[in-house]
Structure 1
């Protein structure tokens, strides 16, 4: 018998969703696609309503920053990417906060790096943060 992906998730308590920039932006312009983001938030809110613990791993900070700063081309240098990400991360979180609030959900941000994962103390602290949030 064929089991769909949705059926596999039915009995799971915790779901991690990884969404890339291309899924959050308009293909032609690279600007944030608010309708897609709103749909994602609606699905996550519905999963939470079913009693699931949901973690969203989201890209999109560079794209959001590029849009906010009015640049029409993709950044090339590391410094451009970092500048766009610095502006875009705040903007992307603002979008998520606003949309999740419309569904009576609370959004939180946890920034993780490779060092967080390889350092025992940092990894322990990150795990405790997720445990508290979930």
Structure 2
């Protein structure tokens, strides 16, 4: 990971599912849950996304904005949102700019084969834009509790 707790996160611009752009700075005054996940419509990613969806009202009540990030296309994100009724935006990061900024594009290994992929991790950014917490061992079914505890 490239950031430590307390670090000021640089403002960034990103494209969401409808093709529009957002900036981190537009969420000043709110806490931001920035969760990086490998792929739309895969079992663990769907479980994680739906866990956040099912607790969305609690996040809103506590002043949080949720943003998911993967390398999938905006079209894939829109289908994922529609299929699972996700109430938050998903950032499309095909050029891996955000992944590189946050250090989440890493070498992984499966069945002895090495490849590059997304490290499932979540960054909680406070109202002033400072990193409040990093969750590196994300538990998809318990992710809300990991964030809010």
TM-score normalised by the chain length of structure 2: 0.31
Normalized per residue, the structure richer in helix is 1
* Higher radius of gyration, 1 or 2: 1
Normalized per residue, the structure richer in strand is 2
TM-score normalised by the chain length of structure 1: 0.34
